[in-house]
Structure formats: structure tokens, C-alpha cells
């Protein structure tokens, strides 16, 4: 018996995932594939075990059984080389065999094999497939996409201090693209498609309070991040782990009640769990469910409450940070919808209406397949090679290829709640001035619940929604469809004009960026006069300070 090593696909999230190995050539005595998640909660990391199944089977085994049912064309319980060649190439590339011929040899355990039983092949392929989790941030309205905290959090502790906010003008200086000493929403937003600057945007998952753990390199990065976020950049206090002493003792080698970065790396390889989430997906709609188990040592800061009359939805509260978790099933409906959608192009492609599509007519269908993550040449779809592609052949290809997309778990994260940018934008002109950054913390004191002169996302009321299910084609994701209907809004700053400014005439004319203050760069007089007028020595002249010159 030997264990497989597999390269895990890096996530694009809000979680730290490490995956358990499966046994080669042997049915695993489990009904779920497992993963470990680390939630970067306000007071410390929270370790969660995810157990994911589809219709009572480990999700990878379910995927391979479904695939085999669509590949065993003659229904004899055996898969020939010709049938194995029907498996989507992107699934074969996840195996060490990488080709249909080698898949046959390795799954059958015989280099001279001409076929392999369906049961033996599905067990083998389930062990070969990587536990590929795609973690993405859901698209949101552009006005909500500014992640100001991540731009000014200089020490990487996940909080914004008074000093960091006051230094925001300096730390974000390269974001001031028009050099007007203000920061508009359009300057601070993530990259958008230049062809559609008003479109909704997808936040960078790196700005969310979760990080991924998939290999040695990501473990090292995560250990550094935990030390920066909860410790002194060199170590992580054991108290922040909120685990029983006996669970941590094996990692705290020098017994100093701290975990060094190296000790933290060891912990992340197999973290003790604060909670367990059983994600029970169903291929049919409205049948998926969630069941959470909170460890006794975590009940003080973790609660999980199922939503009444809404199966498959749980409200998880971690350190007052709300996380709404939803199990998204109904993959059968998605496959049916996708198949029908692409088959509609068959009639369009069949220009001479003879009931089949030739290679010359295939380009219309090929383009539609590509838009749904399906790469295919005509020969891949024309199963019998007679140069006549019929609807049934296209339908069988779509059903097999769709399962390749569904062979991975997709975690979509949406962030809701108040944003720091909107709270600081006191005059609602869609930009931040130097004064709004300098004096902004005073306006945010009501949110500093613990009075530590630092603001965390939980104190701002930030909440998250996690949607967990089998992978979907991009064009059929719920968040993508919702994005299409989002109203476009201009992100340009709103300037008041001279008539909307107060103060003496000279002051209003010097205020070139119309932020209601005059900086030393805008002031046209000597520095000595500026310093005399700047009574509070904050580096800005207000309208009231300017009026003192005329008195």
C-alpha cells in the first residue's frame, strides 16, 4: 500500500486549506473528502475541518462514478481504451498517467490490459484526482470594491490604527494617479476590464481575511501571516490559538507559550480543529444540507445556527464576525441547463438543415463550448468519426465534459457590511481628501468597540457569505448572472465647483482639487504666511483659517 502525492490546484480565498491523502488502489472507508480550513478571525485563527460529500459519497468518488456511467458506452461494466479516450483531457491531466493508455494500464494494474472494470477504474481515478478547490470572491458593485484597509494596513495585522490612517496620504501616494492630493474611488479600486470601466468588479481574495494552504510554500506564507496578524512578526502567542494546552504542547518545543514561525508551520500541516462542517451536497436541487459540530473548547467564541425553514444554510459566528454558509447543490439542473443552452446552437450551426453538422459548420458550436470552459476539436465530438456530428453525439460530449468542471469544489465568498472608504468619505464626493484621512479616526471612534485605537473588520460590522458547491461553468454562476444586471455607476469624484466652496475668493481659487482645504502645494504665497495661517499645524488651510487673513 502506498500513498499518492498530488499537486493541489492553488486557490484564487478566504480560507486555508490542507488536504488529506487517499490510498492508491483501495476504496477509502470514508463517505466524504476532507479539507482543513483556517479562518482568520479577529482574535485568533479558527481551524475547521470540512467534510464534503455528494449524495452520500466522497465527492471525488461520486464524480468518477458519474463519469464512468457516461463513458461505458456499451454498458458492459468494462471500459475499453476507446471508451477511456472519451474522458475529458483536463481530467486526465490531473492524473499521473496523463493519457488514456496509461490510465488503462495503471487502473487495471496490468500493462497488457485491454479493458478495466468500471468499479476498479472509478476507485483508481478518485484517488488520482486532486482535491481541487476554487475559491473566488463574488463580483460586487464597483462602489463597494474599494478595500481601503488593505491599502493602508502597513504592519499587516489586519487592523487599521489611527497612525496608519493619518499616514494614508503617504502610503497610498502611488494611487493618486492624477496627482491632485485626493484619492477617488476609481483610483483605489481593483483592476477592471478597460473595455467596461463601469462593470461590477471581483475583489482580490488576498484582501479577504482568509488565505489558502495548499503546499509547502503556502504553509510558509501563512505562518508568516499569522505571526504578523496575531503576534510580533516572529512568533504567535499560544493564547491566540484558543486550544487546550495538550493540543499545543507538541508544537511549542521551547515551552515559551509562543509558536515560532517554524513551529507554526508544523501546526498548520495538521491543525487541531475548533469546528467540523459536514457539507452534504446533492445532485438534485434543494436537497443539500449543512451540519456543524463545535468543539467544546471553542463554544465560547464559535456558534453555528441553522436557518429555520432554509435547508442547507447555517449562520456561523466567529468572534462576532458573521459568516453565512450555504451548501449549493442541484448540479444535475446545471448540467441540463448547460446542455440545452449549447444544443440551441446546433440548429444555428446546421446551415443546410440536413440534421447534422460538418467540420466546416462546427465553428459556431466550438465557440459556444469554449465560452463554457470546454475545449474541443471536431474529431473530439464526432464520436464515430463519420464526419457527421449529430445532436446525440454533441449531447454525450457535453455531459462528459461538464463533469470535469464539477470535479472540483467551488467556494465563492461575498463580503458585505460597511466599508472604511464610505465611512471616511464624510462629504460623499466619492474621494478621500487629506483632511478626511487625518481626522477620520475621530469619526470612527464609535466603531472601536474595544477601545484599542485600532479598527478591525468585525468592529465595522463586516460579514461574509460562503457558497459551497460543485464547480460551475463561468457563464452559469449565480454571481456572474447577478453581475450582468448590476446598475453601472460612475466612480469619478464629484467636485462642488467654486460656488460650492466656502472661504475667501483667493482661498477658493487656490483650492485646485476642490477638497475644501489648501495644501502647501496649492498655496501660492510664501511658506511663512502659510505657517502663520495654519493655526492647528496640520499642514492644511481650512476656510476658517483663511478668513483670519482678511480680519
Kindly write down the DSSP assignment for every residue of 18-61, as one continuous string: EE---BTTS--S-SSEEEEEEEE-SSSEEEEEEEEEETTEEHHH
In the predicted model, is pLDDT for residue 23 greater than 80? no
Decide: 135 and 9 in contact? Cβ < 8 Å.
no
Of the two residues 325 and 499, the one the predictor is more confident about is: 325
Mean pLDDT across the stretch 159-186?
Answer: 87
Mean pLDDT across the stretch 488-492?
Answer: 48
Q: What percent of the chain has pLDDT over 70?
A: 84
Q: Kindly list the structural domains of the chain, giving each domain's residue range(s) and its CATH number in brackets, ordered by start.
A: 146-188+418-461 (no CATH), 332-405 (1.10.238.10), 498-550 (no CATH)
User: Each residue of 285-307: pLDDT tens digit?
Assistant: 889 999 999 999 999 999 999 98
User: Each residue of 103-143: pLDDT tens digit?
Assistant: 999 999 999 999 999 999 999 999 888 776 777 777 666 55
Mean pLDDT across the stretch 494-508?
Answer: 74
Q: Report the chain's terminal Cα–Cα distance, integer Å.
A: 91
pLDDT score recorded for residue 143: 55
Banded pLDDT at 101 (limits 50, 70, 90): very high
Grid coordinates given for 318: 466567529
| pTM metric for this prediction | 0.73
Asked whether the CA dihedral 547, 548, 549, 551 is positive or negative, the reply is positive
User: Each residue of 405-446: pLDDT tens digit?
Assistant: 788 888 888 877 777 888 888 888 888 989 989 888 888 888
User: Each residue of 80-94: pLDDT tens digit?
Assistant: 999 898 888 888 888
In the predicted model, is pLDDT for residue 337 greater than 90? no
User: Each residue of 354-370: pLDDT tens digit?
Assistant: 888 898 988 888 888 88
Grid coordinates given for 176: 493618486
User: Hey, what long-range contacts does 359-368 have (CB within 8 A, 24 or more apart)?
Assistant: 359/387, 362/389, 365/394, 368/342
Grid coordinates given for 405: 468542471
Q: What percent of the chain has pLDDT over 90?
A: 28
Banded pLDDT at 483 (limits 50, 70, 90): very low
User: Each residue of 45-92: pLDDT tens digit?
Assistant: 999 898 999 999 999 999 999 889 888 888 899 999 998 988 888 888
pLDDT score recorded for residue 476: 60
pLDDT score recorded for residue 499: 60
Distance between CA atoms of residues 361 and 359, nearest Å: 5
In the predicted model, is pLDDT for residue 315 greater than 80? yes
Strands 463-470 and 321-328, bridge-based pairing: parallel
Of 205-209, 236-240, 454-458, 537-541, which has the strongest mean pLDDT? 236-240
Amino acid at each position: 500500500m502506498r500513498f499518492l502525492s498530488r499537486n493541489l490546484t492553488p486557490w484564487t480565498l478566504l480560507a486555508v486549506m490542507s488536504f488529506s491523502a487517499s490510498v492508491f488502489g483501495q476504496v477509502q472507508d470514508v463517505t466524504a473528502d476532507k479539507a482543513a480550513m483556517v479562518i482568520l478571525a479577529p482574535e485568533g485563527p479558527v481551524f475547521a475541518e470540512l467534510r464534503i460529500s455528494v449524495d452520500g459519497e466522497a465527492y471525488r468518488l461520486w464524480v468518477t462514478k458519474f463519469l464512468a456511467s457516461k463513458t461505458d458506452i456499451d454498458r458492459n461494466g468494462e471500459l475499453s481504451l476507446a471508451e477511456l479516450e472519451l474522458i475529458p483531457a483536463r481530467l486526465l491531466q490531473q492524473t499521473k498517467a496523463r493519457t488514456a493508455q496509461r490510465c488503462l494500464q495503471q487502473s487495471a494494474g496490468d500493462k497488457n490490459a485491454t479493458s478495466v472494470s468500471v468499479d476498479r477504474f472509478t476507485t483508481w481515478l478518485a484517488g488520482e484526482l486532486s482535491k481541487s478547490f476554487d475559491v473566488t470572491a463574488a463580483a460586487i458593485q464597483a462602489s463597494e470594491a474599494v478595500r481601503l484597509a488593505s491599502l493602508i494596513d502597513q504592519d499587516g495585522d489586519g487592523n487599521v490604527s489611527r497612525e496608519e490612517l493619518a499616514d494614508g496620504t503617504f502610503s497610498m501616494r502611488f494611487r493618486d494617479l492624477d496627482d491632485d492630493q485626493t484619492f477617488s474611488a476609481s483610483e483605489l479600486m481593483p483592476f477592471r476590464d478597460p473595455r467596461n470601466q463601469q462593470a461590477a468588479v471581483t475583489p482580490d481574495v488576498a484582501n479577504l481575511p482568509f488565505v489558502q494552504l495548499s503546499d509547502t510554500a503556502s504553509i510558509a506564507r501563512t505562518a508568516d501571516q499569522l505571526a504578523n496578524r496575531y503576534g510580533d512578526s516572529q512568533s504567535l502567542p499560544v493564547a491566540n490559538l484558543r486550544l487546550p494546552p495538550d493540543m499545543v504542547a507538541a508544537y511549542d518545543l521551547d515551552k515559551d507559550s509562543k509558536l515560532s514561525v517554524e513551529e507554526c508551520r508544523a501546526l498548520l500541516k495538521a491543525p487541531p480543529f475548533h469546528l467540523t462542517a459536514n457539507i452534504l451536497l446533492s445532485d438534485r436541487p434543494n436537497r443539500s444540507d449543512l451540519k456543524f459540530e463545535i468543539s467544546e473548547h471553542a463554544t465560547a467564541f464559535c456558534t453555528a445556527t441553522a436557518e429555520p425553514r432554509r435547508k442547507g444554510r447555517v449562520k456561523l459566528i466567529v468572534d462576532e464576525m458573521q459568516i453565512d454558509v450555504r451548501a449549493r447543490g442541484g448540479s444535475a439542473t446545471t448540467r441540463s441547463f448547460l446542455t440545452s443552452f449549447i444544443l440551441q446552437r446546433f440548429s444555428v450551426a446546421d446551415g443546410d438543415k440536413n440534421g447534422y453538422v460538418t467540420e466546416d459548420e462546427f465553428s459556431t458550436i466550438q465557440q459556444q463550448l469554449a465560452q463554457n470552459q470546454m475545449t474541443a476539436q471536431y474529431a473530439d465530438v464526432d464520436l464515430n468519426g463519420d464526419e457527421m456530428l449529430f445532436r446525440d453525439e454533441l449531447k454525450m460530449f457535453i455531459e462528459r465534459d461538464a463533469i470535469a468542471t464539477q470535479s472540483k469544489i467551488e467556494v465563492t465568498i461575498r463580503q458585505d457590511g460597511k466599508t472604511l472608504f464610505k465611512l471616511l468619505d464624510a462629504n460623499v464626493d466619492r474621494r478621500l481628501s487629506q483632511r478626511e484621512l487625518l481626522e477620520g479616526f475621530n469619526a470612527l471612534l464609535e466603531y472601536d468597540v474595544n477601545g484599542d485605537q485600532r479598527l478591525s473588520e468585525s468592529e465595522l460590522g463586516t460579514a461574509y457569505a460562503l457558497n459551497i458547491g460543485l464547480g460551475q461553468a463561468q457563464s452559469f454562476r449565480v454571481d456572474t448572472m447577478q453581475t450582468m444586471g448590476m446598475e453601472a455607476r460612475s466612480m469619478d469624484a464629484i467636485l462642488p465647483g467654486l460656488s460650492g466652496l466656502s472661504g475667501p475668493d483667493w482661498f477658493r481659487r487656490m483650492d485646485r482639487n476642490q477638497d475644501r482645504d489648501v495644501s502647501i502645494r496649492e498655496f501660492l504665497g510664501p511658506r511663512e504666511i502659510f505657517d502663520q495661517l495654519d493655526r492647528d499645524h496640520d499642514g492644511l488651510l481650512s476656510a476658517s483659517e483663511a478668513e483670519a487673513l482678511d480680519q
